[in-house]
Chains A and B, each alone.
Chain A
Amino acid sequence: MSASDHSPAAVLPGRVAFPHRHLTGIGGLQPHEITFLLDESEQWIEANRARAKNDRRLDGVTQINAFFENSTRTLLSFEIAGKRLGADVVNMGVGQSSVKKGETLIDTAVTLNAMRADVIVIRHGSSGAVQLIADKVDCPVLNAGDGSHEHPTQALLDALTIRRRRGSIAGQRVVICGDVLHSRVARSNMLALASLAAEVRVVGPSTLMPAAVEQMAVTRFTDFDAALDGADVVMMLRLQNERMSGAFIPSTREYHRRYGLTPERLALAKPDALVMHPGPMNRGVEITSSVADMPGRSAITEQVEMGVAVRMACLDVLTRRARGVEGWA
């Protein structure tokens, strides 16, 4: 498959399918733009399952993964995605970055820009850091998670998983449970799923729930059992102990008692309800192993698989203009 093989049919008449220079968040994307990215991702699922996984459309493209915050799964996923498309992938971890020597984020952005990166993937511990860099560089920037703000590719891979397993996203009752306050995954998912007409419920203790969350087109619950009623999808969030300072919950034991997903609790959802988790999991805290590994119900490993496909699609789409793909220049 080459760059020119991309079907122009995916570009809706009269408008650019994805007019954004960067992908800093789901906020700001129109429903059809989200759907376009999901559609683009589909082609990579089968390609990834084939034995020969290499595609050369990003030949000569330099992809820098600048991860200012530790991450194994997301970094690996972006690295694999880039390499499968033929990009020259460079990983810049915080340990080797000059940020440790006091360089500001903008200096780093300017440096990356001067190195003529073609696409930069950024993870950072501060909300808005990705936007700050995106404003300073010439190439597309992909948000791989910034603070408690957004993690758009996670939301896309979750949406893709739901769409494939449930047939559609519209009308699905999705319950997002856990530490919504600190979760960029939850924010992006709320935006993406609500935008695609799912019924989104968020549940967790009030100490871990952001104010005005209802204004993001979701319904708020504190009782997990009540929230699970009629659920099509149960999306568990990791209890982010490292983000917490002060007493947000009395103990993980009590948290598990109230918000842990057990087989008994899962029975309150629809019989075929899907179980999801962005990982890494705290087994025995927000989810029990028996649920996490439940055949047919748990989509957790599938989420990881979708992650690579979604990231391939995003890397491809965001670099099309620079690569001179027909209809995108």
Chain B
Amino acid sequence: MTTAFVNATLVCPEGGVRPGSLLVEGDRITRVGDFDAPADATIVDCRGRMLAPAIVDLGVFAIDKPACLVGGIVRVGLMPDQSPILDDPGIVQRAADMGKPELWVHPIAAATRGLAGIDLAEMAINQEAGARAVATGRGWIADSGVMRRVLAYAADIGLTVVAHPEDAGLAAGAVATEGETATRLGLRAAPAIVESLAIARDLMLAEETDAAIHFRQVTTAAGFDLIRAARSRGVRVTCGISPAHLLLSDIAMNDFRTFAHLSPPLRCEDDRRAALSALADGTIDVLTSSHDPRGPEEKRLPFADSAPGMSGAETLLPLGLGLVHDGTITIERLFALLARNPARILGLDTGMLAAGQPADLILVDPNIGAQIVADRMVGRAGNTPFDGLPVQGRVKMVMKGGSILA
């Protein structure tokens, strides 16, 4: 099967933005640029719309195919916090097969058995079963000795450690970040330094073991400063963030709105602005949906009793395009954050528009106006703190491995 996308605005994290065509033969991209479409090719006239690499969403908590399809996501790095936990090769392999062919799941195996933070999991065997990285899950490994061994062992076998930076002792029981909002609402809160404390330790250990570490979500000014400094020393560190932490501050929790109960909790306005700066200056490598859908059973509760998490897959791209529309980042940078960089961290050869790459593509109209409406979301749960927000941009077509899905 040959498909020729013509009259497109090609958006590639490395090739930049340019008008042109793209040829897909079988499951691969074979040509990009100016060429005459072969006679036997199915022609897709993009009518000037953006043709970009499909999204690789690094660090989701649920395999949610409908939500991913709407959001232009064709690959997900699945966090190990599943039931059962991804700490066994059979479970890892099963997870890797769960979404195909429409959605490719790249399991991130548990770094420690049962995510308990005590004994190392079988990282190499899980790697053979399909694991693309190892993670500490939703929690932090409090024992520095264990974390050092996790990093050293993962470095030996070439896996990145995806870490959750939140000092467990300081954050125990907290559902919010310390500040005026948490004080007024009477919510148990932890200071924002829970994050930088954890990052500082983990960076020192990563530097000492020469391991690659990825912080799934960094959300504070102090955390970004630590990452910048470590990177300048040559530490192999990357970090991600979700749109929620770029666009919302802790005041979104007012009225005890549980849709704004996230992990890590929303930060103060200064930290939010620092996150936008870190996105603009290249400190942040990955924009993730942190897709963690929670149904009403988990959200229609008092704030402290509700589960943290939001449904993010459907809104990741439109919110990301908002950052382009407002000039925070360029469109090619957005796709570096959404596709190329997460692919690299997972060791996947995808995320760009280049010959030889898998034909994972999305056609995007960046100017279609829409509104995020929680009740109309197609995913497993429509819990979004962005309910009612007007956005611009919609996925018009998704191609996975040469097959048009929608």
Query: Which residues on B sit within 8 Å (CB–CB) of A129?
Result: 302
Whether A147 sits at the interface, judged by CB under 8 Å, is yes
Chain B 149-199 residues near chain A, CB threshold 8 A: 172-173, 178-180, 182-189, 191
Q: How far is the CB of A20 from chain B (nearest CB, A)?
A: 14
Q: Is A184 among interface residues, defined by CB-CB distance under 8 A? A: yes
**A3 lies within 8 A of chain B by Cβ:** no
Chain A nearest CB from B318 CB (Å) reads 28
Q: Which residues of A contact B189 (CB under 8 A)?
A: 210-211
CA distance A1 to B256 in the complex (A): 40
Chain B binder among A72-80, A212-220, A248-256, A318-326: A212-220
Q: How large is the interface on B (under 10, 10 to 19, 20 to 34, 35 or more residues)?
A: 20 to 34
Of A49-57, A120-128, A158-166, A267-275, the stretch lying at the interface with chain B is A120-128
Q: Which of A149, A187, A245 has the most CB of B within 10 A?
A: A149
Residue A215 contacts which of B183, B191, B302 (CB distance < 8 angstroms)?
Answer: B183
Q: Is B303 an interface residue (CB 8 A)?
A: yes
The reply to whether A213 and B301 contact each other, CB–CB distance below 8 Å, is: no
Whether the Cβ atoms of A127 and B191 lie closer than 8 Å is: no
- Contact for A211 among B172, B191, B303, B304, CB less than 8 A: B191
Cβ of B297 within 8 Å of any chain A Cβ, yes or no, is yes
* Cβ-based interface call for A105 (8 A): yes
Contact of A127 among B179, B186, B300 (CB under 8 A): B186
Q: Is the CB of A128 within 8 A of B180?
A: no
- Tell me whether A216 and B183 are in contact (CB under 8 A): yes
Q: Which residue of A lies closest to B184 (CB)?
A: A27
Give bound CA distance, A212 to B192, whole Å.
13
Contacts of B256 in A (CB 8 A): 127-128, 131-132
Partner of A132, one of B173, B184, B302: B302
CB distance from A196 to the nearest CB of B (A): 18
| A215/B186 contact (C-beta < 8 A), A105-B301, A128-B303 known | no
Q: Could you tell me if A104 and B304 are in contact, using CB atoms closer than 8 angstroms?
A: no
Closest residue of A by beta carbon distance from B169: A246
Chain B residues whose C-beta falls within 8 Å of the C-beta of A216 in the assembled complex: 180, 183-184
State whether A124 touches B302 (Cβ < 8 A): yes
Does B255 interact with chain A (Cβ within 8 Å)? Answer: yes
What residues on A are CB-neighbors of B186 within 8 Å?
A: 127, 146-150, 184, 187
Q: Give the CA-CA distance A148 to B176 in the complex, in Å.
A: 13
Q: Are B180 and A126 interface neighbours, CB within 8 A?
A: no
A245 surroundings in chain B (CB, below 8 A): 173
> With the chains together, A150 CA to B191 CA distance in Å?
22
- Closest B residue to A212 using CB positions: B180
Structural contact, B297 and A127, CB atoms closer than 8 A = no
Determine if A127 and B185 form an interchain contact, defined as CB atoms under 8 angstroms apart: yes
In the complex, what residue of chain A is closest to B304 when comparing beta carbons? A126
Task: Give the nearest-CB partner of B187 in chain A.
Answer: A127
| Distance of A224 from chain B, by nearest CB (Å) | 21
- Please tell me if A106 contacts chain B, counting CB pairs below 8 Å: yes
Asked if A126 and B303 sit within 8 Å, CB to CB, the answer is yes
Q: A132-B256, A210-B183, A213-B183 are in contact. Are A148 and B188 (CB under 8 A)?
A: yes
Give complex CA distance A124, B256 in Å: 14
Some 7 contacts from A to B, beta carbons below 8 A apart, are A126-B303, A127-B303, A128-B187, A212-B178, A215-B180, A215-B183, A216-B183
